[in-house]
Structure formats: C-alpha cells, structure tokens
Chains A and B, each alone.
Chain A
Amino acid sequence: MLRGFGNFLLKELKELIRDPKILLGTIIVPLIMFPVLGAVMSFSVQSAQETAGKTVIIVLNHDNGAASSEFITYINSSLRVVEAHVATIADAVPLLAENNATEIVEIPADFTRNVTARIGVQVKFGSVYAGSGLFEGIGSSVVDALVEQFNRNIAPDVVVPEKSAIVKGEIVEGVDPRMLSSLMISQAIAMPITMMILLSYSMQIAATSVAMEKEEKTLETVLTLPMDRFAILMGKLSGSIIVAGFGAVAYMVGFNYYLGSFAAMIPAGANIDLVSLGLVPSPFGYLLLGTSLFVALLSALALAVIISSFAEDVRSAQSMVGYIYPFIYLPSLALMYLDINALPLAVRIIIYAIPFSHPIIASKAITMGDYWTAILGIVYVATFTVVIMYIASRLFATERILTAKLKFKGLRRGKKNATEELQ
C-alpha cells in the first residue's frame, strides 16, 4: 500500500462529496435525468407500438374474390381497414386525412385468380411519409409483416408488394418510406445531436469566459473602462458564438462522415432525390432554421452568462451551467424518437416551453413545409432571449456583476462572504 494513500483518498472523498456542486451535478442530476430519459424512451417505444396498432389503411379492392377477402381479414387483424371505392391510390390520397389513415393498398382485379393459381401478384401500397421521427414508417413495417404472414400461409412470394411513398400528398412511385426514413436520419438525429453539442459547448465557453474574468481578476478593471457595459456582454456572447460556431462546423464535418455509413446501407439503385421530393428545406426554410438556431443559441449563452456571474471561479461556473443541460438533452433525445404531436398535452407544453427544443421542432416542420411552426417558435425563443438578455445586461450595468455570489449553504451566508471580500 502506498504510504499516505488511504489518508489522502479519505480527504479527497470528503472534499468531493461535501462539495454541493459535485453532489448535484454528478449524483443528483443523473439520478433524475436517466429515469426521465428511460421514461421518454419507454414512452416512445410504447407510442410507436400504439401508432402501429392504430394505423388506418384504406383498401381499394378491385377483386372482390375469396382470396382478397381473406387478405383483407389478415390486414384487419392488425390494422384498421377502411374500404374505399375509388380507382387508384392517387384517387385515395384525398381520403387519407378524413379517415386519419397513413396507408393505402390497391388489390388488383386478378388477385384471387392469381393467388389461387399460386402465381405472384403485384399489390400496390402507398405509405404516408411525414418526417416525424426515427419510428417513422412503422405502419409500412406492419404491412410488410402482414404480407409476409399471408404469403407464409398461402405460398412464398404470392403477394408481391409494390411500394410507394406519399410525401406531402404526392405519390413517389417505387420509394419505400422506410428508405426515406433511413435517408432522413440526418434530420431525425443530426439536429438534436447538433443542438446538444453546440449548446452545451458554447454555454461552457461563455461561462468560462465570464468566470475567467472573475478568477483572473480582470473584470473590475474592465468595468471601469470607458466602454459600454452592454458591449462587454455582447463581446462575451459573440466570442462564444464564433468559437462555438467553429466547433459546430468541425463537429458537423465529422458527423457527416458518420452519416455516410448510414447512406451506404441504402440499396444501390434506389436513387432517391430528396430535393425533388421536397424533403430538403427551401432557402427560406434554411433561413428560418438558421434564425431558430441562432436565437436558441443566444438565449443559451445569455443564460450561461447570468449563471456564471454568480460563480467565483471557472470550475464553479462550469458546474453551475451543467444544471441547464437536462433542459437541452431531454427535449433533444425525446424529439429524436418521438413526433411531438403524438405526445400528451402536458409533455408537449413542457417541450414547447423549453427554448432549446424549438430548432429541432423547426427542422422537422420546415422539412415538411410547415413554416408557421418554425416562425412561432422563433418568436417565442426570441422573446425569451430578449428577457434573458435584458436581465444579463442589467446584471452587467449594475454592481451585481461584482457582488453576485451564490452559495448552496444559504444565500444569506453567501452574501455576507461576498461583503467581507468587498471591504
């Protein structure tokens, strides 16, 4: 045994465990965060299963024979069937919304004859692609499972599904929505992960930069310089945004290579052009997305500046900023798996109330052409940002920037300590 090791270790443990910042950040936050995260995941899986069970399929039966009746019975066992008397899938598209349906199947006139003869028959399927999350296309998966089950009972490959995606009301022939989901994984994952890394990284930079001024004792000098105090705040925020921006670009370049591995999984020859499908934001969409990201970033940085103003040194500032992370991570992870519209109202309100959710919500909405959701989100986050910026600017304009100090063992005691130092 190393001489003195035990004694030193005991001292270390006492110091670390007694530090409320470490206790809160390392033990309490994960104890709360991970069960919540688990609940989100469990809810998302449950929600996906429920969605699959509630999937409504519009059936166009041009056959009306025994086999088609049996096939419909099969489908009906897992999905809710609505029969429609129109000629083609394109004609059935307008019926989707009124029936709350996401799938259409068109059974051809020679279905029973071919099935009875064990001759392969092409059955057309149309699946709505709404870009809502990682579990998008689960309805299409259920259809696949049902067809497979039907074929197993009758004959291998007797029913050959011919799939199309329905994107924004338009039929895209030969494209399986699951393929689109794979391609759109960057939408579903990239934005939440970017948000998590960009926001937490830039908040750390902003908090460090403010705390460094205090720790290195340069703040007092700066506050007596002939400059606008708001310029100090803006300088700190802009510096953090620029450095974090470089970090985000570097991160996105790396992440792009990572996503390349997903693209490689898409079958060769699928030849899906997301631009022609309208699944890539327009220039206006990009502008909205950029604005949404910018205001969210600004609000996070202003929040970090306020919080770190209460810290005495860099370490404390970084720990204190860590308390904001659950508000970034939870909505990001939740929205990675879930469609916000499928969530219970209370959860939806909480997610909408967190400003850092909005760029993720906006990215999904903009892809699907829903600009209003993005615009309203920007207005909300901008308002939040203005309020936070006002508080931050007031903090810098007054002596609070010097006297503010937060103690976990009681504010009153913290105030006294601060006062003693000031004298």
Chain B
Amino acid sequence: MASLDSAVAVVDLTKDFGEIRALNNLSFSIETGEIFGLIGPNGAGKTTALRVISTLLLPTSGSVKVFGLDVVQEAARVREIITYLPEEAGAYRNLSGREYLEFMARFVTKDKNRFQDMVNEAAEICGLGDRLKSKAKTYSKGMKRRLLVARALMSKPRLTVLDEPTSGLDVLHSYHVRDIIKRYVKDNGVTVLLSSHNMLEVEHMCDRVALVSKGQIVAEGKPAELKERFESPNLEEVFAKVVGFA
C-alpha cells in the first residue's frame, strides 16, 4: 500500500483514453533513494504511469504525489524536483551535445557556478569527450542516449523518471548506461523510477520492482523476494507465472 510520506505515492491511479483503460487502480510507493522498477510487457501501462507521475498526463482518477506534491494541483512544483527521460527521447539535431546540456541546465539554475558544475558533471557522466562539440544529429543512438541520461541526472533531481533507459542500445552501451545510473544514484541519493520490459536488466539494477500487466500491479517486492516467492530463477519467469503463462 502506498504511503503518503514516500518519495512517490501512487494511490488507485486510473487513466482512461476514451474507451481504453490504460491504468486500472494502480497503487505503489517508492522510498527516498530507492531505485524502483516498473516492469511488464509493451502496452502494460508503464509509460502511461510514468507520464502521469511526470505531469505529462492527467489521471482520470486516483492520486499521485511526488515528495508530498500533487502532480495535478502542484504540477509546476513537481517539475522543479524531477527529471524525465522518455523512451524515445531525442536531442535537438542542430545543437551540439554541450549546447543541449547548457540549454537544459539553464532551466534549473541561474547561478553561473552551479550551471558550469552541472554541465561539467553531465559531460563526465555521458563520457562523450570532444564529441560534445559535435551536433547531436551526428551522434549514434548510444551516444544520444548517454547524453540524455546525463541530462536527466546532472541536476541531481530528487526524483528521476527513466522510461526504458537502455531502449534500443547494444550490450555495451546498455551496460554503460546502467552503470552510470547505479553509480550516480547511490553517490547522490537520487530516487529513481524506471520502466523496462527487459526484466533481467531490471533485476540487477532495482532495489524493488512492481510487475505491471494490463494497467494493474500483479506483484511487487525486492527481486530476490519475488524470485523466492514464485520459486523462479529470474523475474521473467516470475512474470510468466504471475500472469498465468507458466
């Protein structure tokens, strides 16, 4: 059950798109400093949940609070303490990587020193080196994703919402991005909510996970607990058992 003192408290969240119910009384909570994963197949409602929490979509019913702030009533204040990385996010083609980071940093601070620290930190996180001077349109998918992950983390937000952070990346790039997130989060005490349909990946990153199917949470807990509870070697099999495939 979601607690109102949590970093994120989602209570009975329902979201309808016309006749289609994308989320159906979804409830969960995330503690401060935790990496929490929403996992499930495509179309389960993960992205919709992340978009509601990130103030992009309005809930049909239910409530969502981020550090006590209501995402509907206090959306502007929520946006000040979160960052959101959409699944298929892009960078501005004609801006260089550094210009993109500077553009984003200007929304966060007016202080020159903090601004510079933020951009330098992002440069270090993404590890793009001199390529930061090149226009984003010349980047590979992996480079772009690293830039965007760095953007999401550089301001040390209280909550960062990452939708499929390693989407479309090859093994090495995925490894690098996962490593960045884990390291940065632990070092800076940032709370992370991420989604993935790659359950094996999430298993190694998240402190706790919620399995989502058809807009509902079907199981929730620490990866090790879930595997033990469902007597499965990995989360993929846990999910299959929960939804009745195995």
A residues near B (Cβ < 8 Å) are 216-218, 220-221, 223-228, 398-399, 402-403, 415-416, 418-420, 422-423
Contact = CB atoms under 8 A, between A and B. Distances in A.
Interface stretch (B84-92, B122-130, B225-233): B84-92
Given A218-B90, A419-B17, A225 B79 contact: yes
Given A218-B91, A225-B104, A398-B58, 14 more contacts: A216-B90, A216-B93, A217-B89, A218-B90, A221-B85, A224-B84, A225-B107, A226-B76, A228-B76, A402-B51, A419-B17, A419-B18, A420-B43, A422-B48
A226 B82 CA distance: 9
Query: Which 6 residue pairs spanning A and B have beta carbons closest together?
Result: A419-B17, A216-B90, A224-B84, A217-B90, A220-B86, A226-B80
Given A398-B58, A399-B58, A220 B89 contact: yes
B51 A422 contact: yes
B107 A221 contact: no
Nearest to A398: B58
24 contacts: A216-B92, A218-B91, A218-B92, A221-B148, A223-B56, A224-B56, A224-B82, A224-B84, A225-B79, A227-B107, A399-B56, A399-B57, A399-B58, A402-B51, A402-B57, A418-B17, A419-B22, A422-B47, A422-B48, A422-B57, A423-B22, A423-B44, A423-B47, A423-B48
Contacts of B91: 216, 218
A423 B22 CA distance: 6
A17 B188 CA distance: 56
A410 to B, nearest CB: 13
Interface residues of B, number: 34
B54 interface: yes
B55 interface: yes
Interface of B: 17-18, 20, 22, 43-45, 47-48, 51, 54-58, 76, 79-80, 82-86, 88-93, 104, 107-108, 148, 151
Given A403-B17, A415-B17, A416-B18, A224 B47 contact: no
Q: Interface centre among A216, A223, A224, A227, by most B CB within 10 Å?
A: A224
Nearest to A420: B43
Contacts of A398: 58
A217 B88 contact: yes
Contacts of A225: 79, 104, 107
B89 A218 contact: yes
Contacts of A217: 86, 88-90
Contact of B107 (A220, A226, A416, A418): A226
B90 A422 contact: no
B43 A423 contact: yes
B56 A402 contact: yes
Contacts of B79: 224-227
A99 B92 CA distance: 66
A418 B58 CA distance: 16
A223 B90 CA distance: 14
A223 B78 CA distance: 12
Contacts of A216: 90-93
Contacts of A218: 89-92
A402 B50 CA distance: 14
A419 B20 CA distance: 8
Contacts of B17: 403, 415, 418-419, 422-423
A203 to B, nearest CB: 21
B101 to A, nearest CB: 13
B226 to A, nearest CB: 24
Contacts of B88: 217
A393 to B, nearest CB: 15
Given A415-B17, A419-B22, A422-B17, A224 B92 contact: no
B22 A220 contact: no
B84 A220 contact: yes
A423 B55 CA distance: 15
B18 to A, nearest CB: 6
Contacts of A220: 51, 56, 84, 86, 89
B21 to A, nearest CB: 10
A402 B76 CA distance: 17
A276 to B, nearest CB: 50
B88 to A, nearest CB: 5
Q: Interface centre among A398, A416, A423, by most B CB within 10 Å?
A: A423
A419 B18 CA distance: 8
